[in-house]
Structure 1
Amino acid sequence: MRALALLLAVCATAAQACPGRDAPCEIDGGTYRIVLPEGAAPAPAVVFLHGFGGSGAGVLRQTGMVSSLTARGWAVIAPDGRPRQGRNGLRWSFDGAEGRTADAFLRAVAADAAARHGVDAGRMVLAGFSNGAFMVTYLACRDPEAFAAYAPLSGGFWEPQPERCAGPVRLLQTHGWRDPTVPLEGRPLGGGRRVQGDIFAGLQLWRETNGCQWDDPEGYATTGQFMRRRWDCGAGSALEMALFPGGHGVPDGWADLMLDWFEALPD
């Protein structure tokens, strides 16, 4: 009994030292913030990666998205990227150039949130916007089993994109039809020194990774402003694309669309 009481006291102290919303939780390699839903634990969670120049605190200020997720019983975890040299804000470096392995850091965030806050480590979706979406895409390619599913929003691969990925994924790709910052067809940056990849070429790689026999979708649907197409391929995989008519931003209704998609997947 004394051992149990000591364990509970240690856990309570750890949670108190990591409130999550008003102050970041610190782990080796970085920080994150978290908002928990009301109700019994363990709650599923969306780990949402901010865009270029953003922060975890900025993600939590997107109250519409956060409220939509927590209202459905999901926690929201918002990790912080690394500082941009000589500039304000944070960024994600999917190639490891930021001095830490971002993949390992995000896995550590998930494990820490499960241990400290009681979220369900087996039901975590890694999502992200823009620069965060690129990070999501590369982690999904390198380590598809790190999270239960992936949901990049307004981002994909850079050129040259990988020739292959490690294994089948469950992934929802969402993109704005009129996005000028990350166009569907990609664009050069820095005078051509770096080139954003074509989102449709990325989908081709995902179809190959998931073992799709044909390129044409198995299903089409329209949900609100989202035009959707779905590929049903190899066991344990799921692939869907959702286009919306807007530009570079998190569209209204995305949170519910993503949760509906994930919750409908087979266990």
Structure 2
Amino acid sequence: MKLWKTGAAAAVLSAVWSGAAVAGCGAAAGVCEAADGAYHIALPTAVKDPAPVVMFLHGYGGSGAQVLRNTALIEGLTGRGYAVIAPEGRSRGGTGPQSWGFGPFTEGRDEGAFFAAVLADAADRFGTSSAQTVLAGFSAGAFMVHYLACSDPAAFAAYAPVSGAFWRPQPETCKGPVRLLQVHGWRDGVVPLEGRILGGGRWEQGDVFAGLEVWREANGCTSHAPTTALRKDGLLRRRWDCGPGARIDLVLFDGGHTLPKGWAGLMADWFEDEPVVR
């Protein structure tokens, strides 16, 4: 097993937070600094060599610290052997709520470069994987997931947005192939499946199903019809298998704008169902 690097810059706290070992860097407990931003990390109690990573992006107005306080999410993932990395977004305009630079709101930081720097920093400090990686996120974090997957699908092994898609005008094309798990609440009123108009007409959230069409084209799918369609455990599921590394899953749950119960296990099962060789 690869040993974690020692020293004050990579001290592992003895405290246990959400049932996982929360690591800190330097004097700021639970906070690590990478190029152009900060992140938090929770390590699995049983460390694989190296531990796969789920980078989870917070929603609008949230924070990486809040992500690590989600006990069900953190314990669900670290219990399966994943390290959870929760980066900090940037304040809109320097003073507004924290969010991400995607679509119509791209400004300042290069988010893709920041995420790459965080992955590299965590791998160096804690020995986490830089290949077996999932970029996940909720709401505004999910918007960011879609846009990065579109522009740079090889940045992560897979993508798992929850309650978010593209904004209008959505990208006409995306690069591919990509593995993507789209989870969305059927009764979501904040980010409805069909989208909605905001800011007096200045912005428009996109239609989830229209976005899936872009992804099918990027993956070279020959049909709009899913490979499998089923209803199980109260979930409606659709799956498109369109070639090596080109898989799209849609999971709809009977709920609103929230991370559904059991998402961590659902995502881990999905990611492990078809291991990616990179």
TM-score (norm 2): 0.88
Residue correspondence of structure 1 range 104-143 to structure 2 within 5 A: 104-143=113-152
Match of 2:184 among 175, 194, 201: 175
Structure 2 residue matching 1:247: 3-state secondary structure: coil
Q: Please name the residue that 1:201 is paired with.
A: 210
Query: Is there any run of 5+ residues in structure 2 with no aligned partner, and where?
Result: 13-22
Which residue identity lines up with residue 58 of structure 2 in the other structure?
H
Distance in 2, Cα, partners of 1:97 & 1:204:
23
**1:48 equivalenced with 2:56 (yes/no):** yes
The answer to whether the 8 Å contact 2:4/2:126 transfers is no
In the alignment, is the contact (CA less than 8 A) between 1:55 and 1:89 conserved in 2? Answer: no
Name the SS for the 1:191 alignment partner.
helix
1:210-253 Cα distance to aligned partner (Å, 9 max, x none): 01100010112334232111001122211100000000010101
1:15 to 5, 10, 13: 10
Report the equivalent of 2:198: 189
Identical aligned pairs, as a percentage? 57
Structure 2 partner of 1:39: 46
Query: What displacement does 1:167 show?
Result: 1.6
Q: Which amino acid aligns with 2:11?
A: Q
Q: Which runs of 4+ in 1 moved over 4 A?
A: 8-11
The CA distance in 1 between the partners of 2:147 and 2:36, in whole Å, is: 19
Q: CA deviation at 1:14?
A: 2.8
The offset of 1:78, in angstroms, is 0.1
Cα distance in 2, alignment partners of residues 55 and 9 from structure 1: 26
- Whole-angstrom distance in 1 between the partners of 2:78 and 2:107: 31
TM-score by length of 1: 0.92
What letter is aligned with 1:155? G
Aligned AA (2:71): T
Deviation digits for residues 16-53 of structure 1 (CA, Å, limit 9, x no counterpart): 28616943101120000000001233111100000000
In the alignment, which residue of structure 2 is the partner of 1:5? none
Residues 1:26 and 2:33 are matched in the alignment: yes
User: Is the CA contact 1:82–1:98 (under 8 Å) kept in the aligned structure 2?
Assistant: no
Provide the secondary structure at the position in 2 that maps to 1:181. coil
Paired letter, 2:7? A
**Aligned-pair distance for 1:9?**
10
1:220 aligns with 2:225: no
Deviates more, 1:209-218 or 1:230-239: 230-239
8 Å CA contact 1:53, 1:84 repeated in 2: no
Candidates 227, 235, 258, aligned match of 1:249: 258
Letter in 2 for 1:111: A
Question: Whole-Å Cα distance in 2 between the matches of residues 218 and 125 of structure 1?
Answer: 23
Q: Partners in 1 of 2:10 and 2:232 — Cα distance?
A: 39
* Gap runs ≥5 in structure 1: 1-7
User: How many aligned residue pairs are there?
Assistant: 260
| CA positional deviation for 1:87 | 5.4
